[in-house]
Amino acid sequence: MDVSLLFFTFMLAIFLGLELISKVPSKLHTPLMSGSNAISGITIVGALLAAGRGGSVFLTVLGTVAVALAAINVVGGYWVTDRMLAMFRYGPKKDEPQP
Amino acid sequence: MDVSLLFFTFMLAIFLGLELISKVPSKLHTPLMSGSNAISGITIVGALLAAGRGGSVFLTVLGTVAVALAAINVVGGYWVTDRMLAMFRYGPKKDEPQP
Amino acid sequence: MQIYVPGEDDSEETRVPLLPETVRQLSGLGCEISVEPGLGAALGVSDSAYMEAGAGATRPREEGLKSADLVLRLNKPSPGEVDILKPGCLHISFLDPFTDASVLRLLAEKSVDAIAMELMPRTTLAQKMDALSSQANLAGYVAVILAAERLPRLFPMMMTPAGTLQPARVLVVGAGVAGLQAIATARRLGARVQAYDTRPTAAEQVRSLGARFVEIKLGETGQTEQGYAKALTDQQIESQRQALQKHCADADVVITTAQVFGKKAPVIVTEEMVRGMKAGSVVVDAAADTGGNVACAAIGQETMVGSVRVLAFRNLSRRVPVHASQVYSNNLGNLVEHFWDKERKEFVLKREDEILRGALATQGGRIVNPLFV
Amino acid sequence: MQIYVPGEDDSEETRVPLLPETVRQLSGLGCEISVEPGLGAALGVSDSAYMEAGAGATRPREEGLKSADLVLRLNKPSPGEVDILKPGCLHISFLDPFTDASVLRLLAEKSVDAIAMELMPRTTLAQKMDALSSQANLAGYVAVILAAERLPRLFPMMMTPAGTLQPARVLVVGAGVAGLQAIATARRLGARVQAYDTRPTAAEQVRSLGARFVEIKLGETGQTEQGYAKALTDQQIESQRQALQKHCADADVVITTAQVFGKKAPVIVTEEMVRGMKAGSVVVDAAADTGGNVACAAIGQETMVGSVRVLAFRNLSRRVPVHASQVYSNNLGNLVEHFWDKERKEFVLKREDEILRGALATQGGRIVNPLFV
Amino acid sequence: MTALLFRNLAYLGAAILFILGLKMLTRPETARRGNRLSALGMLIAIVATLTTRGLSFQWILAGLAVGGIIGAVAAQAVKMTGMPEMVALFNGFGGGASLLVGCAEYLYNPQSPAGTLIAVAAAVLIGGVTFSGSLVAVVKLAGFVSGKPLLFRGQKLVNGLLLAGAILCGAGFAAEAGHMPGLLAALIILALILGIGSTIPIGGADMPVVIALLNSYSGLAACAAGFVLLNTVLIVSGSLVGASGLILTGIMCRAMNRSIGHVLFAGVGVAAGKAADQVQGEARPISPQDAYLLLEAAQHVAIVPGYGMAVAQAQHAVSELGELLQANGCQVSYVIHPVAGRMPGHMNVLLAEANVPYDLLAEPQDVNPTMQSVDVALVIGANDVVNPAAREDASSAIYGMPIVNVDQAKTCIVLKRTLSAGFSGVDNPLFFKPNTRMLFGDAKASVAALVAEFKGT
Amino acid sequence: MTALLFRNLAYLGAAILFILGLKMLTRPETARRGNRLSALGMLIAIVATLTTRGLSFQWILAGLAVGGIIGAVAAQAVKMTGMPEMVALFNGFGGGASLLVGCAEYLYNPQSPAGTLIAVAAAVLIGGVTFSGSLVAVVKLAGFVSGKPLLFRGQKLVNGLLLAGAILCGAGFAAEAGHMPGLLAALIILALILGIGSTIPIGGADMPVVIALLNSYSGLAACAAGFVLLNTVLIVSGSLVGASGLILTGIMCRAMNRSIGHVLFAGVGVAAGKAADQVQGEARPISPQDAYLLLEAAQHVAIVPGYGMAVAQAQHAVSELGELLQANGCQVSYVIHPVAGRMPGHMNVLLAEANVPYDLLAEPQDVNPTMQSVDVALVIGANDVVNPAAREDASSAIYGMPIVNVDQAKTCIVLKRTLSAGFSGVDNPLFFKPNTRMLFGDAKASVAALVAEFKGT
Ligand SMILES: NC(=O)c1ccc[n+]([C@@H]2O[C@H](COP(=O)([O-])OP(=O)(O)OC[C@H]3O[C@@H](n4cnc5c(N)ncnc54)[C@H](OP(=O)(O)O)[C@@H]3O)[C@@H](O)[C@H]2O)c1
Ligand SMILES: NC(=O)c1ccc[n+]([C@@H]2O[C@H](COP(=O)([O-])OP(=O)(O)OC[C@H]3O[C@@H](n4cnc5c(N)ncnc54)[C@H](OP(=O)(O)O)[C@@H]3O)[C@@H](O)[C@H]2O)c1
Ligand SMILES: NC(=O)c1ccc[n+]([C@@H]2O[C@H](COP(=O)([O-])OP(=O)(O)OC[C@H]3O[C@@H](n4cnc5c(N)ncnc54)[C@H](O)[C@@H]3O)[C@@H](O)[C@H]2O)c1
Ligand SMILES: NC(=O)c1ccc[n+]([C@@H]2O[C@H](COP(=O)([O-])OP(=O)(O)OC[C@H]3O[C@@H](n4cnc5c(N)ncnc54)[C@H](O)[C@@H]3O)[C@@H](O)[C@H]2O)c1
């Protein structure tokens, strides 16, 4: 049951991912890539478990390295995306639509 | 775990449902409604279990009624949708795009 | 009610005051109409066409004028004609009162109630009977066509294998009804069009036709409640001339339509400005009827000023008599229908009516229009 | 190489064969150019403008013609002028060989190599030197403007407070270069335009300008390799007339531009058809130069046929001399440049060249053009 | 285990087919294929369910046979005009089935955890509302009772109380760990009454919207049943239908120029007219999206240009919109009032420039007599020439001028920037009529937005 | 239990924030807010994870601190021009982390079921490819090595073998129930080599596309890690990024006029030119969608109309497209060749009718000298007037005629219905040039489709 449910979730997320993005102005290509790259740093959740869960020192070190790598990805990714987006001039602020 | 996973699935399906439909030509409003109504007949899965699982006669009858109702919904729903859609003339057949 | 429609004596007049179609409209209201024999001859409309449309008879001018309750005509009557009108009858036509108000006196003396078409107010409601507008509209078109026919170059731009032909530059001075139609027509032909007017609202209207508006700072200008322009001070006229000088020099065609209601048209284009234009350029003074905007124009004629051709024909709409007659005839028809009392089958002169307050020149033996009292 | 440009004697000729701009282009190639004094006078171009542009000198006609290696001019030379040309020189102008081929003989006798502008092939490459096209283009525009000026109604549709003015109906017969430009111009002015041509490809071209194409079934028609129309059989002409009759009767303006290369223009519009038109309508015969398409037209004049006005002016492009001169001058300039050998600084007559094969009338003392051998 | 795995894979496949099917149903070219794909998914889900160990088939087959035959016969027999009722009926049965599934599951296993009981309550509540609401819709649509909204004072209050009661019953039921089946019975009754109570005040004209909404509900009911059974395919399909149904309801609402709030909480079917007469003085704005939906569904559109079109230089965009409307099968006419613009023939110049064929131009007197049959009158920067005061208000300065009677069209959309008056300075009551919507903004931008909506399909 | 529930709810919230964030990142007005929402989601997920019972924090904090600081400093310090490298680098680290997570999980619990082991292998394989591939991209972009593609014979074969080997190792590893850790080590090595091997043949110009693709991979790696840990938020977020990244890759590819196949399997960065010269004789069609992407990204567009525009009566649509391009910040000129059309000034009449300002019109001699700086030359139904044979082929009947040198623009899109010749009957080699794309169909329909794409944004 569990695993099949996971596959359901997986399938739905894939479909959602495919639907979510349809047309992106070219100036947003890089920020979008960078922003979604930051999301893929979610693997940090696994890394945290690996680093904190104990086990051999080797394992812990492995986990810690994973945490560090993932943290770079997450922190750097969001930050750099934010910097890129800060450079844009927006159009009319007032009708900034809610998502 | 189970239940939270179900909620995940639920959430994803809701989002997907919201994204899936954005602009529908007015002549498709009724068929789309009818077609998605047929999908909601999926409750027949539950009805089948209720009717076939045994238990008291009352329960079985309840289940059977549920099966019958759901079957009407499913069979009638798809059928009537197909009939509606059969009436449309399509534009150029050749560039019928894949979904 | 007996309606009579006389023709015109002026041999240059090509228009016909009333067409069979309007006769049909009016006889539908219950009017009895008679027309002068040969009324429609200039346009090839036969007397029998009028009869078929519901006219009762043709009558010679004198007989017709004597007996009519309502006279519909194009231009003002001669003093002799006024003299034979039935007292108390209603007379509708252009009266040209600003040039010569004596006819009003004659009409008043004869106790004729007279509506002067040129006094029709510029309101939305009155527009259907506004003959000044409907003729000015045609004049604007004609002005451009006259210029195009005489210009030694094309109006539109063309990029051809034998080089690029630059579009003509057209300057329109005065963006009232005639000016706007001139702008539209010149734009249609592909010219680069600039236009100028003193009324502040004109800029938007010029742009609404896709042309450029020439901005000249003159200080206070403004317009009357009727939408007519106010006359400028001498100093304003002077600075306006200066500012327009270089626009004229650039232009291949200058069309002037500036008028001031009830006054002589302002002189905007000086001889110097005309002489400063390129050889072969054309100037059309479409305000010739009220004295003209171009200093060196010979009213009514086509002359060369240096190497520039200056046209100052009167009554430009006469050059498209078919449509000019159609719109004038409709204006008259709409006017009569508007004030027609269907029960009593007669034209009712309500003094309190806004339109009549403007357009009525004489009533009950007196000149009633405040402009001429 | 000495180039000489003489003026024209015909007082009706308003065009100038070469403008200072082209002089500049040619002297840039290394030509020595002299012009007849007063060459540009008709357009107000002074002799000094030519000098500034690089012309070496002004020379009286006789002197100039005698010494020139290359003569560029507009219309064909008089026999006397041919006589004084330098043998072996090159002469480029319209020669009107179909009307009168004798000038070719004279030129050949004098051993003058002559290019006739009207023989220029209708290929993509030659288009920049194709004077027939560039003049026809202007003629199409002029034809419409002439008609508009004379029509007693407007071209565009207008829905006004005084009624709806119907747009003029324009029929264009012959949709070559002139016809297409006429269509475009009439459409710009807002008329309802129909057009007709015998060449099958014309329909698409007419529609590409947004006008209606009148379909008439005539059987085999077709066009030559050059893109010119083939002459019709008598029977075809007859059925064409019949079919066009009712379209003419509906039209306010008829413009004919039908020509057949090297032949007299076909008579398409009969007097009966003209008389069947509405009073005040206008017919412009733009094929007057080659005999005219309208039976009752007086070539070169404006006449009334019944109540219809018929115009059959020659050389319509003369009415827009500024642009007509510009394009002809550019045609000449492009022609010389195309065949100019930059090394040897001279005009090279390659006999095998496709363009020259068409346009060259005489060479080396013989008439070489196959149409006239 | 393998059977379970197989079943779950089949469910996964079915869900994918439903998703694809729904997606394809939104495009005319693929709709029919989409519906069939989704039917295939349903077949797969049913067959997979039947492989569950320990099911006895006689009852199931009886139920399937009876239901299937009824459904098929009904679907085949119904006339095209009766489609909406039929859809509503089927939908009601679906809701009823979910209700029964919820009850049966509870009765089968009364000692369920609280979560399951909540789900049971939800399935019963939503299913019940769907069931009875759909039946009311059927009855109204079929004309068994008047389509008129049944209104009484305090209706909203009653419905609110019913809902509150139902929720309380459900909560109590779950809190008591299912020991009080009476609460469930009460819940069922309340749900059925609520379904009726919330549907009867809605007029027949709004029924399609109501059915779409009930359809969304029946999806949610199935989803709730899924939570009862902890069955993923039910949850996924149910919530898909629930969510997309909501979107569809919104789309249909806007295409009928209704707000969902109005549909649900007032007898809008007829009351729109009445209600709005009272709000004279308040103009109703509309978004380009909603205006698009109105135009997209229209059979006959009258475009009335005025000076504002000229100022905005919107003629090319207008002409393009006209072409798109025609391509959509709609009859389009341009009604040119003689005094529109600022010079005679102003509109003609502009429309000719934009290549609008002369045949499409009409004068007011040609169009006015049949204005009632015009679905949408699109007023583009005109004001005085569509001012009904000229007809209605004898004291107005323009009284007596013939106008374009756009106020008599089914819907009138006015494109201008503000509510200010036109050239004549006379205020325009058109802007406050119940069937008028204001599309504020520069006319060119607004028309371009409409064009974009059309092309974005 | 409550902690678990809380954690799962937090994960649910995080996933919702990721979804909203991604959606908002696609619109300029909301992008920045979207990115911050998604960052908030990440924070929530991390904090929630830290509530897991029994975690010891010292290592975690060390890792977080080191990684966080490095990330922040790098992100702050990098110059705008260095952004792409930086993104690639971060991405590589993400992939590396997934690889390590997979390994660690296996080592922690070597007796996992086969399913988990498959997931471990997938995480390691995809993570490894992402890691080494990203590093190659960084090195290429930063100019440490030449951006040129490194090509050698049999490269594709080698990569294929590497991939097959990696899959075999993974399968063996899972089949042996994890008893052969050596296979895992081998898998790691093969994955790293594969990442390098599949990236070095790609030219520097294509790197953005490659990074987008590797980004999609790193999502999938995270998803695989999710399957290892049976953690939903990982699965959901990872597959979201994986799927949307794939779509983004496609979008970017088309905006750069590349096909994804070319990017991956040939050294397209420079080879496009070479390869295409050989395929002379084969015209490359383009869809309106792809043409839109090219135009949307263009800074300077030259529109070259011809007789086909007149036949199609496409002038209004063309004018509208021009306006949209200008509104998009692009410089637009209309290049009118003197002989275009069928009468002198043919294009002028039509463009004037469509209100194209005279200032935008240019003659060929004005534009030709700077044609290299034109991003897209849009040839609308012109043929002879853009035929490079007039310049290149002395035997051609039109040799010597000046043409519009659209073949020298960066990209040339030709709108016509077929490959047939124009008026002159001369065949046009332009259609087969490597930088030419054919947008087949009626010009009006094609331009309208482009306009629709622009407006649909
Ligand atoms: N035809 C003639 O010969 C002539 C001559 C002179 C006067 N008139 C008079 O002009 C009037 C014509 O009637 P009409 O209905 O055409 O015009 P109107 O009554 O003057 O109304 C035009 C409307 O367009 C709106 N508008 C202006 N710019 C706009 C823009 N950029 N985008 C959207 N809307 C815009 C204005 O409202 P917002 O400001 O709220 O946008 C205005 O209310 C009549 O009263 C007539 O008598 C006609
Ligand atoms: N300017 C003049 O005065 C004049 C006069 C006469 C002749 N010409 C000659 O005409 C030519 C003009 O060159 P050009 O480049 O403008 O035109 P062209 O070379 O004739 O090419 C026009 C192209 O447009 C395409 N086309 C036709 N209808 C179309 C439609 N509905 N949608 C999309 N494409 C369409 C055709 O290709 P498909 O069939 O594949 O679609 C054709 O190849 C020159 O050779 C010139 O010499 C010019
Ligand atoms: N309400 C209606 O339905 C209606 C109908 C017709 C006209 N009008 C309005 O009436 C007004 C006058 O129109 P008209 O054409 O009869 O005016 P007109 O013929 O009296 O004058 C023509 C134009 O010349 C301009 N002018 C005057 N002095 C000038 C100067 N020194 N320099 C430059 N321009 C100068 C005026 O402003 C006017 O625009 C306009 O506002 C017009 O819109 C309204
Ligand atoms: N290749 C080029 O660059 C180029 C340049 C100019 C013209 N052309 C082509 O040359 C051809 C001729 O053009 P033109 O204007 O010089 O032709 P033209 O002046 O010789 O004739 C004018 C038109 O009259 C038509 N015509 C002849 N007999 C007719 C009849 N009985 N009824 C109706 N119409 C009749 C012809 O078909 C032609 O279209 C056209 O196809 C044109 O496109 C090509």
- pLDDT bin (cut points 50, 70, 90) of residue F265 is low
DSSP assignment letter at E144: S
**pLDDT value, residue B91:** 39
CB-based burial, E193-206: b 16+ in 10 Å, e otherwise: bbbbbbbbbbbbbb
Which residue, among D349, D354, D269, has the nearest Cα to D91 in the 3D structure? D349
**pLDDT value, residue C342:** 85
- Name every chain D residue with its beta carbon within 8 A of the beta carbon of F353: 188, 210
**pLDDT value, residue B92:** 36
How many Å lie between the alpha carbon of F283 and the closest alpha carbon of chain B?
21
Per the CB < 8 Å rule, is A4 touching E15?
Answer: no
Atom number in ligand 3 closest to CA C266:
31
Whether the CB-CB separation of D296 and D274 falls below 8 Å is answered with: yes
Atom number in ligand 4 closest to CA D266:
31
- For the record, the structure tokens of C102 come out as 């004596």
Nearest-10 Cα torsion for B58, B61, B63, B65: -140
Residues of E with CB under 8 A from a CB of A: 4-5, 8-9, 11-12, 15-16, 19, 230, 232, 236
- pLDDT bin (cut points 50, 70, 90) of residue D231 is confident
Task: Give yes or no for residue C25 having a pLDDT over 70.
Answer: yes
What digits encode the pLDDT tens for the residues D325-365? 999 999 999 999 999 998 888 899 887 888 998 999 999 89
- Test mutation, E343, E399, E426, chain C, max C CBs within 10 A: E343
Any ligand 1 atom below 6 A from CB of E443? yes
Cβ of residue D351 closer than 8 Å to a chain F Cβ: no
Any ligand 1 atom below 6 A from CB of E216? no
Per the CB < 8 Å rule, is C157 touching F361?
Answer: yes
Least confident of C132-146, C285-299, D229-243: D229-243
Ligand nearest to the CA of F385: 2
Nearest CA to ligand 4 atom 26: D258
- Name every chain F residue with its beta carbon within 8 A of the beta carbon of D357: none
Per the CB < 8 Å rule, is E15 touching A1?
Answer: no
What digits encode the pLDDT tens for the residues D248-273? 999 999 999 999 988 999 999 999 99
**pLDDT value, residue F263:** 67
Atom number in ligand 1 closest to CA C137:
3
**pLDDT value, residue F148:** 65
Ligand nearest to the CA of E440: 1
| Cα radius of gyration rounded to whole Å, chain E | 27
- For the record, the structure tokens of A86 come out as 């800060």
Average pLDDT over residues B2-12: 81
- For the record, the structure tokens of F200 come out as 């070095």
Q: What is the CA(C142)–ligand 3 centre distance, in A?
A: 18
CA separation for the pair D270, D164 (Å, rounded): 33
CA separation for the pair E97, B65 (Å, rounded): 8
Ligand nearest to the CA of C175: 3
Of B5, B15, B16, the CB nearest to A5: B5
Identity of residue C85? L
Ligand nearest to the CA of F315: 2
DSSP assignment letter at A72: I
Most distant pair of Cα atoms in chain C: their distance: 72
DSSP string, B13-76: HHHHHHHH-----GGGHHHHHHHHHHHHGGGHHHHHHHHHS---HHHHHHHHHHHHHHHIIIII
Of F337, F348, F355, the CB nearest to C157: F348
CA angle F221, F223, F225 (to 5 degrees): 70
D351 noted as active-site residue:
no
**pLDDT value, residue C183:** 96
- pLDDT bin (cut points 50, 70, 90) of residue B6 is confident
**pLDDT value, residue E266:** 54
DSSP assignment letter at A74: I
Any ligand 1 atom below 6 A from CB of E340? yes
Task: Give yes or no for residue A21 having a pLDDT over 90.
Answer: no
Of F4, F9, F19, the CB nearest to B15: F19
Of C44, C149, C327, the CB nearest to D279: C44
**pLDDT value, residue F272:** 38
- Positions of C marked active-site: 122, 127, 130, 133, 228
D130 noted as active-site residue:
yes
Closest residue, chain A, to E235 (C-alpha): A8
Atom number in ligand 2 closest to CA F445:
32
Nearest CA to ligand 4 atom 21: D259
Any ligand 1 atom below 6 A from CB of E344? yes
Task: Give yes or no for residue F275 having a pLDDT over 60.
Answer: no
- The H or E element containing residue F439 is strand F436-440
How many Å lie between the alpha carbon of C317 and the closest alpha carbon of chain F?
27
CA separation for the pair E95, C144 (Å, rounded): 74
H-only helix segments in E109-206: 114-142, 155-175, 181-199
- Test mutation, F328, F444, F455, F457, chain E, max E CBs within 10 A: F455
- Hey, which of F423, F424, F426 would you mutate to test ligand 4's pocket, going by the most ligand atoms within 8 Å of its Cβ? F423
Task: Give yes or no for residue F446 having a pLDDT over 90.
Answer: yes
Q: Which residues, 6+ apart, have CB-to-CB distance to F90 below 8 Å?
A: A34, A37, A38, A41, A72, A73, A76, A77, A80, F71
Per the CB < 8 Å rule, is F342 touching D124?
Answer: no
Which residue, among C330, C326, C297, C327, has the nearest Cα to C314 in the 3D structure? C297
Coil, strand or helix at F291: helix
- Hey, which of E342, E349, E404 would you mutate to test ligand 1's pocket, going by the most ligand atoms within 8 Å of its Cβ? E342
**pLDDT value, residue E269:** 39
**pLDDT value, residue E429:** 93
Whether the CB-CB separation of D245 and D141 falls below 8 Å is answered with: no
**pLDDT value, residue E276:** 36
Chain D touching partners, 3 or more CB pairs below 8 A: C, E, F
**pLDDT value, residue E125:** 94
Place of tokens 């042996």: F176
Per the CB < 8 Å rule, is E338 touching D192?
Answer: no
Cβ of residue C133 closer than 8 Å to a chain E Cβ: yes
Coil, strand or helix at F454: helix
Whether the CB-CB separation of B28 and E82 falls below 8 Å is answered with: no
Packing angle of the helix pair E114-142, E155-175 (nearest 10 deg): 150
Task: Give yes or no for residue A96 having a pLDDT over 60.
Answer: no
How many Å lie between the alpha carbon of B10 and the closest alpha carbon of chain E?
6
- For the record, the structure tokens of E184 come out as 């469930």
- For the record, the structure tokens of D96 come out as 């009107």
What digits encode the pLDDT tens for the residues C40-62? 999 999 999 999 999 988 999 99
Per the CB < 8 Å rule, is F345 touching D127?
Answer: no
Chain B touching partners, 3 or more CB pairs below 8 A: A, E, F
CA separation for the pair C208, C202 (Å, rounded): 10
Cβ of residue C279 closer than 8 Å to a chain F Cβ: no
- For the record, the structure tokens of D250 come out as 């509906």
**Phi and psi at residue C301, in whole multiples of 5°?**
-130, 170
Average pLDDT over residues A34-52: 91
pLDDT-above-70 percentage for chain D: 100
What digits encode the pLDDT tens for the residues D157-211? 998 999 989 999 999 999 999 999 999 999 999 999 999 999 888 999 999 998 9
ipTM value > 0.90: no
- Name every chain F residue with its beta carbon within 8 A of the beta carbon of D182: none
**pLDDT value, residue F1:** 56
Task: Give yes or no for residue F145 having a pLDDT over 90.
Answer: no
Per the CB < 8 Å rule, is C159 touching F363?
Answer: yes
Coil, strand or helix at E438: strand
Per the CB < 8 Å rule, is B85 touching E228?
Answer: no
- Name every chain B residue with its beta carbon within 8 A of the beta carbon of F5: 4
Which residue, among D169, D331, D145, D322, has the nearest Cα to D251 in the 3D structure? D169
Q: What is the CA(F344)–ligand 4 centre distance, in A?
A: 13
Task: Give yes or no for residue F342 having a pLDDT over 90.
Answer: no
What digits encode the pLDDT tens for the residues F316-334? 999 999 999 998 889 999 9
CA separation for the pair E348, E351 (Å, rounded): 5
- pLDDT tens by residue, chain E, 457 residues: 577 888 888 999 999 999 999 999 988 888 999 999 999 999 999 999 998 888 888 889 999 999 999 999 999 888 877 888 889 999 999 999 999 999 998 888 888 888 889 999 999 999 999 999 999 998 888 777 666 666 666 777 888 889 999 999 989 888 887 778 889 899 999 999 999 988 888 877 778 888 899 999 999 999 999 999 888 899 999 999 999 898 888 888 877 766 777 766 654 433 333 333 333 467 888 888 889 888 988 889 999 999 999 999 999 999 999 999 998 889 999 999 988 988 888 998 899 888 898 889 999 999 999 999 999 999 999 999 999 999 998 888 888 889 999 999 999 999 999 999 988 888 999 999 888 999 999 999 999 889 888 877 5
Strand partners, F435: none
**pLDDT value, residue A94:** 35
Environment class of residue C31 by beta-carbon count within 10 Å: exposed (0-12), middle (13-18) or buried (19+)? Answer: buried
How many Å lie between the alpha carbon of F425 and the closest alpha carbon of chain E?
32
Per the CB < 8 Å rule, is D192 touching E345?
Answer: no
- pLDDT bin (cut points 50, 70, 90) of residue B95 is very low
Cβ of residue A21 closer than 8 Å to a chain B Cβ: no
Average pLDDT over residues C230-248: 88
What digits encode the pLDDT tens for the residues C63-117? 999 999 999 999 999 999 999 999 999 999 999 999 888 999 999 999 999 999 9
- Name every chain C residue with its beta carbon within 8 A of the beta carbon of D127: 161
- For the record, the structure tokens of E2 come out as 């393998």
Task: Give yes or no for residue F369 having a pLDDT over 50.
Answer: yes
SS (HEC) of chain C: CEEEECCCCCCCCCCCCCCHHHHHHHHHHCCEEEECCCCCHHHCCCHHHHHHHCCCEECCHHHHHHHCCEEECCCCCCHHHHHHCCCCCEEEECCCCCCCCHHHHHHHHCCCEEEEHHHCCCCCHHHHHCHHHHHHHHHHHHHHHHHHHHCCCCCCCEEECCEEECCCEEEEECCCHHHHHHHHHHHHCCCEEEEECCCCCHHHHHHCCCCEECCCCCCCCCECCCCCECCCCHHHHHHHHHHHHHHHHHCCEEEECCCCCCCCCCCCECHHHHHCCCCCCEEEECCHHHCCCECCCCCCCEEEECCEEEECCCCHHHHCHHHHHHHHHHHHHHHHHHCEECCCCEECCCCCCHHHHHHEEEECCEECCCCCC
Cβ of residue B7 closer than 8 Å to a chain E Cβ: no
**pLDDT value, residue F279:** 36
Task: Give yes or no for residue F280 having a pLDDT over 70.
Answer: no
**pLDDT value, residue F393:** 87
